[in-house]
Structure 1
Amino acid sequence: MTPPQNLLHPATFATAPPSGLDAPDVARIMAIGTAVPPTSYTQRELLDIFGIEDPRIRSVFLNSAIDRRYLTLPPEDSDGGRIMEVQGELLAKHKAQGIDMGIRAVQECLKRAGADLDDIGYLCCVTSTGFLTPGLSALLIKELGMDPSCSRLDVVGMGCNAGLNALNAVAGWARAHPGRLAVMVCDESCSAAYVFDGTMRTSVVNSLFGDGAAAVAVMAGDDGEPGPRILKFASHIITDAVDAMRYEWDSAQDRFSFYLDPQVPYVVGANAETVIDRLLAGTGLRRSDIAHWLVHSGGKKVIDSVMVNLGLTRHDVRHTTGVLRDYGNLSSGSFLFSYERLLDEGVADPGEYCVLMTMGPGSTIETALVRW
């Protein structure tokens, strides 16, 4: 007797995916491009540059599972020290570096997609490392010389999870405009959001984040194109932990400052199953059927907690840990750097499923299911 469709192993879905997961208007990720600043530093180099001798802070830096990060440090003074930038200078850094990295990421993405600037019908820019009006979308359209009638969206201040929130909106636009190209840029200049006050709270943040931008091209309505199909999204807000991650004004330092509760990794991990179960509900898929996992590089403890709660292996999160090691936490663009590594590895076969997962303030967990 033939078993019901929802009991078939997904290997049989190479030609017949589960009902509802292969709609004709589904959007695809066509290409990706990334960019970072020209300067990078090891954790030990950063400790030496800022003259940090406190053994507790040094331990945080050196046991972070991060080898190197791309950063734009404050300028040097006459004695070789670093001049602490005021908020206006940090905002100027966010703008200048965001435009530079954003331009390069978009150009690389279009090159890989075989597309031109004139092909872009929708541009979405994501950032949490500065506030600009007009936003990065308008600035990039101007600097790139794009069509000024291009539709656009700025997603500002959502945090590390925002890349998937924005991808949901971008995929929706693409489905409503089949054959038109939409581009999302996650553009984070974390060097423009640092506070140096010598406390353990700010030191944990300072040991973690790096600068980088990632752009993805998305299109619906052309099944002949390569790239994974974006099938479904699922979200979960942990309302009891709404203050666990927050970016707020620090009156003592006269600038914005990021707060990260030490319990965040365990809270996120404890809720990971809830959102993954919601993502896979109705698909006929089980967690063991997912061939690839691209989890936000939120930090060593975050990754370990998600691994334990979802039963993932070190191999499953190899790109997540690799991006953390080589770039640090890139905020909203981290999962896209992992996605680029998965593509470069060339191991994703037609019919295989992949889960994308990001975490951030709220506290929130965002997920997406894609299929090659």
Structure 2
Amino acid sequence: MTRISGSLSRITAVGTAVPPASYTQEELLGIFGVTDPRIRSVFLNSGIQRRHLTLPPRDPDGFPRTETQAELLRKHTTSGLAIGREAIETCLKRLNADPAEVAFLCCVSSTGFITPGFSALLIKELGLPPECGRLDVVGMGCNAGLNALAAVTGWAGAHPGQLAVMASVEVCSAAYVFDGTMRTSVVNSLFGDGAAAIAVVADAAGERGERAHGGPAVLGYASRIMTDAIGAMRYDWDEEQERFSFFLDPEVPYVVGAHAEETVDRLLSGAGLRRSDIAHWVLHSGGRKVIDAVRVNLGLTRHDVRHTLTVLRDYGNLSSGAFLSSFQRLCEEGTVRPGDFGVMMTMGPGSTIETALLRW
């Protein structure tokens, strides 16, 4: 486990946002005119009931028209700014903090490429201080939220008492390809649009400040990359479709599941803990098979991953911010007690597992 140096950083507030339009899996099959029983089965047996998406306008035949890569990038930027701003504003409101207090902003996204990145655009949109430090984590995929959190807690630990914010902004509908193949249909059945933001503050002078009250401290991280499966999850250029496209290998759940136990045990052993000491599990909603593979390999119950499963049901896979939606539901549930330990876990391209140890 990589331990946090300096003052302990605490997650003090969380906010989430999604686009206004949402669709059931059945509605999406109808909108896109999908009749292939194999593809319909993928959609209807995914553990997902509804997703928030920004769909393209209809063509004269009534079906969503094919968007150019330029239009998809504009969607990534426009929709991303809207939901990113809402998530950060909600987070700051829950903390009773003013945007002018934000000293560091880290933005995460894997559904498009823009320069300047979301950090610069959101600093302007929200009126954050122009001297605000910033970082963009781009192209790391679904695991990237914990990679970014490591950077943010490191910054906060080096600047005790100052407010840092991490925002995940994922417009997955700006990264879809509709070609009727099983390869793209698996992706199209899974991902949804959404943003999430968390506020991080390190204790000043070793004391818990007012804003840190009740928020979990991040004690350390553990990572594992399975380089022999480096191409199992990727987002790259599809020459035939002339746009970027997601690819998910069917073996992904088993690759991730097989390495989950070693990664988590290494995280816990660094703190002298066992899995039985963990009261709360916050996992990435990567898909039903991924969740089941991780749950079985870690010996977790469905209750342990209840928030992960309900986020998948209500929103689909929100990529890098999915675990923060699960974290928000845990916080709102009211079951956390002082002294409880928790584990955050994300999975993504590489293939990669990222984990973090929390204590309330």
Say whether the fold is shared (TM-score over 0.5): yes
Q: Which residue of the other structure, out of 77, 84, 88, is the alignment partner of 2:59?
A: 77
Q: Displacement, 1:78?
A: 2.8
1:26 matches 2:8: yes
Letter in 1 for 2:200: V
Counterparts of 1:59-138 in structure 2 under 5 Å? Answer: 59-138=41-120
Q: Displacement, 1:79?
A: 2.9
Q: Specify the alignment match of 1:337 in structure 2.
A: 325
**TM-score scaled to structure 1, two decimals?**
0.93
Question: Is the Cα–Cα contact under 8 Å of residues 24 and 221 in structure 1 kept in the other structure?
Answer: no
**TM-score scaled to structure 2, two decimals?**
0.96
Counterparts of 1:278-317 in structure 2 under 5 Å? Answer: 278-317=266-305
Question: Is the Cα–Cα contact under 8 Å of residues 74 and 84 in structure 1 kept in the other structure?
Answer: yes
Structure 1: gaps of 5 or more residues: 1-19
Question: Is the Cα–Cα contact under 8 Å of residues 170 and 193 in structure 2 kept in the other structure?
Answer: yes
Q: Displacement, 1:277?
A: 1.2
Question: Is the Cα–Cα contact under 8 Å of residues 52 and 193 in structure 2 kept in the other structure?
Answer: yes
**CA-to-partner distance for each residue in 1:154-196, whole Å, 9 max, x for gaps?**
0000000000000000000000000100000000000000000
Q: Does the residue aligned with 1:277 lie in a helix, a strand or coil? A: helix
How many angstroms apart in 2 are the aligned matches of 1:364 and 1:153? 21
What number of residue pairs does the alignment pair up? 353
Q: Which residue of the other structure, out of 225, 228, 239, is the alignment partner of 1:251?
A: 239
Question: Is the Cα–Cα contact under 8 Å of residues 4 and 218 in structure 2 kept in the other structure?
Answer: no
**CA-to-partner distance for each residue in 1:109-163, whole Å, 9 max, x for gaps?**
0000111101100000000000000000000011111111110000000000000
Counterparts of 1:196-275 in structure 2 under 5 Å? Answer: 196-222=178-204, 223-224=208-209, 225-226=212-213, 227-275=215-263
Q: Displacement, 1:24?
A: 7.1
How many angstroms apart in 2 are the aligned matches of 1:184 and 1:146? 14
Q: Does the residue aligned with 2:142 lie in a helix, a strand or coil? A: coil
Q: Specify the alignment match of 2:312 in structure 1.
A: 324
Q: Displacement, 1:21?
A: 7.9
**CA-to-partner distance for each residue in 1:204-263, whole Å, 9 max, x for gaps?**
000000000000000002414220001010000011100100111101100001110000
Q: Does the residue aligned with 2:91 lie in a helix, a strand or coil? A: helix
Q: Specify the alignment match of 2:142 in structure 1.
A: 160
**CA-to-partner distance for each residue in 1:304-339, whole Å, 9 max, x for gaps?**
000110000000000000000000000000000000
Q: Specify the alignment match of 1:356 in structure 2.
A: 344
Counterparts of 1:170-209 in structure 2 under 5 Å? Answer: 170-209=152-191
Question: Is the Cα–Cα contact under 8 Å of residues 27 and 221 in structure 1 kept in the other structure?
Answer: yes
How many angstroms apart in 1 are the aligned matches of 2:122 and 2:5? 33
Q: Displacement, 1:25?
A: 0.8
Greater Cα shift, 138-147 or 26-35 = 138-147
Q: Which residue of the other structure, out of 347, 350, 354, is the alignment partner of 1:366?
A: 354
Q: Does the residue aligned with 2:219 lie in a helix, a strand or coil? A: strand
Q: Report the identity percentage.
A: 69
Letter in 1 for 2:58: E
RMSD: 1.2
Structure 2: gaps of 5 or more residues: none
Q: Specify the alignment match of 2:129 in structure 1.
A: 147
Letter in 2 for 1:51: G
How many angstroms apart in 2 are the aligned matches of 1:251 and 1:364? 26
